Amino acid sequence: MNKKIIINTLGCKVNQYESASFLHSFEESGCELAKSGEDADIVVINTCAVTAKAGAESRRTVRRLVRRHPQAKVVITGCYAQMAANELAEIVKTPVCIVGNGNKHLLVTAALKESPCDLTMLMGKILKKDTVCELPMKRFNQRTRAYLRVQDGCSNFCTYCIVPYTRGPSRSVDLTNILKQAVRFAEAGHKEIVITGIHVGMYGKDLPEKLDIADLMISLCRAQPEIRFRLSSIEPQEITDKLLDGMESCRNFMPHFHIPLQSGDNSILQRMHRGYDRQTFRNIVKKCMQRFPDAAIGIDILAGFPGEGEEEFANSRQLLEEIDATYFHVFPYSKRPGTPAATFANQIPKAVSGQRVAELRKLAEQKQLTFHSKHLQTVRSALVEQKRNGENMLTGFTDNYIPVVFQGDDKLMGQVVPVELNSLLGKTVFGKLVR
């Protein structure tokens, strides 16, 4: 009998890529996803630890799925498993396999072993890893766009971040393997591929060819001219003229930048170990908008970092008000044991952080509405999602990342179509298919 599988994924796009690869390997071995309410033979939980909240959610998810599937073999992986393997082994009373981030290529084989395990820990020394484990697949299951992992790990050691300790140093996937995976996604029918990694802007620095992220994006765009390529989060100092020239020369390189800021105050940026100041960030965003005036600019911002007083927070808010951004991802600072910032003086009370987060999210809504309004009465190419919204309308994202809803046939799902952006009702952009 085919084994029934559940894969629960928390956290980043890299985790989502890896879980999609696990599913592909399980299906190649004759397994199938368990339906809703169906008992599973194998439960895989791909955890996250980027914030304290994510770690708590990982623990809750493990407990919930173990209770729901008491007879299943449980396999736990991801960043929380990497940093808290012993804690997970204690809270799970049934047989469990814990797989470290550097050994995810062994996960499916371990899960399919017939012999039950009291406790199997395939951890490895993540800080010593110098290669990325291979996780190929054919299709990104049940998703319109595919995520393509090109890099893993981070060597920056920002003072608030646990990720370098859970993912190891920055290391890149060989360009040949990336191009092959892009071909597999194209053959499976994906029309858009999002290039992702833990620190994607460091791509190629560790390879013998000394490539960089611009080389990679240009190679992909030219090899697959019918596929839209979108770049995930990239550090401000890694947005070079070479990268912008590549975006300009490749029409299938989507005009969308997601740039972490984290703070708009120079003293806080220094304490975070971010490697740039507010003026550098402002100049980078200005340059992006001069070259690509229709581009979406997404920004990550932390509120409540230790030592962030009213003046420092005001500097962040002022910078965000001034720059030409499209949307923000706003997070409260999360104290992560094992990071330098966890020991810093002047930790900010949660109530204060929460108020600052709410303030910045309100500003983010205003920025997004301004950006959407600016593009009304224009025609943009939109990739249509595989499901309709609650009003039975098609949904899609334009090249510059505007979510739009419009009327159309099911046959358009998964296709790139021209859509005129007509009106804005609340936060929803309504469009019309251009015939």
What is the 3 state secondary structure string of 88-106? HHHHCCCCEEEECHHHHHH
Looking at the fold, whether 142 and 118 belong to one and the same domain comes out as no
Mean pLDDT of 326-339: 93
pLDDT at 1: 59
At 354, list the tokens. 């929460």
Question: For 250-301, what is each residue's pLDDT tens digit?
Answer: 999 999 999 999 999 999 999 999 999 999 999 999 999 999 999 999 999 9
The pLDDT of residue 249 is 97
Helix (H/G/I), strand (E/B), else coil: 174: coil
If one counts the domains in the chain, the total is 3
Residue 217 has pLDDT above 60, yes or no: yes
| Mean pLDDT value across the chain | 93
The distance in angstroms from the start CA to the end CA of the chain is 49
Total Cβ atoms within 10 A of residue 401: 20
Q: Which domain CATH number covers 13?
A: 3.40.50.12160
Task: Provide the percentage of residues in the chain whose pLDDT is more than 90.
Answer: 78
- pLDDT tens digits, 356-409: 999 999 999 999 999 999 999 999 999 999 999 989 999 999 999 999 999 999
At 278, list the tokens: 């507010």
367 near 405, Cβ under 8 Å? no
Q: Is residue 174 part of a domain?
A: yes
Does 349 reside within a domain?
A: no
Which domain range does residue 138 map to? 127-254
* CATH (domain of 400): 2.40.50.140
CA distance 246 to 226: 16
Look at residue 88 in the predicted model and tell me its pLDDT: 85
Nearest to 266 by CA among 307, 303, 315: 315
SS3 275: coil
DSSP letter at 108? H
Burial 249-285 (b: 16+ CB within 10 A, else e): ebebbbbbbbbbbbbbbbebbebbebebebeebbebb
CB 332 within 8 A of CB 354: yes
CATH of the domain at 216: 3.30.750.210
Concatenating the DSSP letter of every residue in 328-384 gives EEEEE----TTSGGGG-SSPPPHHHHHHHHHHHHHHHHHHHHHHHHHTTTEEEEEEE
Q: Could you tell me the two tokens for 295?
A: 């581009």
**Is the domain of 152 the same as that of 34?**
no
| Segment 36-64 mean pLDDT | 92
Residue 117: per-residue pLDDT: 55
Asked whether the predicted pLDDT for residue 27 surpasses 70, the reply is yes
* Residue 141 pLDDT: 76
Among 87-101, 201-215, 334-348, name the one with the lowest average pLDDT.
Answer: 87-101
d(CA 361, CA 10): 23
Q: Is residue 318 part of a domain?
A: no
Q: Does the pLDDT at position 16 exceed 80?
A: yes
What band does 122 get if pLDDT is binned at 50, 70 and 90? low
- Tokens coding 205: 């620095």
| Strand segments (E) across 198-246 | 228-231
Q: Are residues 119 and 11 in the same domain?
A: yes
| Residue 103, domain member (yes or no) | yes
Within this chain, do residues 84 and 104 fall inside the same structural domain, yes or no? Answer: yes
The answer to whether residue 404 sits within a structural domain is: yes
Residue 134 clears pLDDT 90, i.e. is over it? no
What is the three-class DSSP state of 319?
A: helix
Least confident stretch, 82-86, 117-121, 174-178, 385-389: 117-121
Q: If you average pLDDT over residues 188-200, what whole number do you get?
A: 96
